Each structure stands twice: as C-alpha cells, then as structure tokens.
Amino acid sequence: MMRLLQAELRPEEQLQWSQQPRPLALAGKKWPLCLAGLFFFGVPAFTMWILAFSPAKQIPLSLLGVILSFLGLFAGCGAGMLLAPLWAGWKATRTVYAITDQRCLAITAAWRRRIQYWHVGRGAAELIDLHRTEDHQGRGDLFFHRQIVPVRHGYRYVDAGFAGIR
C-alpha cells in the first residue's frame, strides 16, 4: 500500500503523515448488518432444512423448486450480510490514508483502485466540514466532507475521510 501511495504523490509534494485503518474498527461498524444477516440467513436455512428432511413430502416438486429458489436467494443475501465484517476488515488492509502539504488522500485497492483526495492549504474549500469522533484511547474517525445523497424516501449522509485511525 505504501508503494501505491508513493506512486500517487506528486514530485513537489511532501508526505506529512500516513496510516492504514484498523481492520477491527471498520469491521466493528458492520456488526448491525451482520446481526440482520443472522435473520436473513438463519430463517431460510432452517426452513430449507425442515423441507429437505420432513417425512411427509406432500409438496409438488415444481412448487418445492420455486420455494427452495426463493429461500436460497434470501439465504444468499443473508450470507453476504454475515460476511460484511470480514469484507470490511479485509478492505481496511488494502487501504492507506495520507496527509501531504497539499492534500489529504485515501487510497483503497480492494478489487479496483479508488483514490480520493481533498486539497489543503490556503483557500482550501474542500475541507470545510471537518468532524471527528474518538474514543478514550484517541482512536476514531476524521471526516472531511459530508455529502447528501438522495435515496428513495428522502436523503442519506455519506461521510468521506479517514475511518478507523489511531
């Protein structure tokens, strides 16, 4: 990751600070999704197990195929939700944050390389919405920009910046 960061720096740019996010910090933010995944995976899996091993096979085979396909779809979504903390932790190992004398960078190289940057210095209009959260040990998040994204029934906030840092 440091090689990717060095390749992204401009020749006149001086690196001031760099760090990777803590995998457990980013994985911990996905636990509510993981708990919902228990329901979306557990109920269909249990229902499929009951259907497969029930002694009375009175359901027509074509209907059984439709039911199992539908339950399999829910179980697949639930499995993805259960694995969300692992995915977030792995993605943290493929992320690096940096501050230079000209800009702040967030580089993620999970499946694709994604580079975000925010300009710093005199007249830096991009760093106007700074906010941070931290715990008693000084670990937390530092966000530079809050974007409002329209969703189906209203709006949702998306924070951009450094998450899970020391």
Question: What integer pLDDT is reported at residue 56 of this predicted model?
Answer: 61
Q: What pLDDT, on the 0 to 100 scale, is given for residue 128?
A: 64
Neighbours of 141 (CB within 10 A): 18
pLDDT of residue 77: 92
Question: In this predicted structure, what is the pLDDT of residue 94?
Answer: 95
Q: Quick one: pLDDT at residue 92?
A: 94
Neighbours of 36 (CB within 10 A): 15
Question: What's residue 19's pLDDT?
Answer: 94
Look up residue 148 and give its two tokens: 């409002």
HSE of 37 in the Cβ direction (CA atoms, 13 Å)?
A: 15
pTM: 0.76
Tens of pLDDT along the chain (166 residues) come to: 888 888 889 999 999 999 999 999 999 999 999 999 999 999 988 888 887 777 666 777 777 778 888 888 999 999 999 999 999 999 999 999 999 988 889 999 988 999 988 887 655 555 667 788 888 888 899 888 778 889 999 998 888 889 999 8
pLDDT computed for residue 34 by the predictor: 92
Q: The tokens of 134 are what? A: 């931290």
Q: What order do you get walking across the sheet with 131-134 strand by strand? A: 131-134, 140-151, 154-165
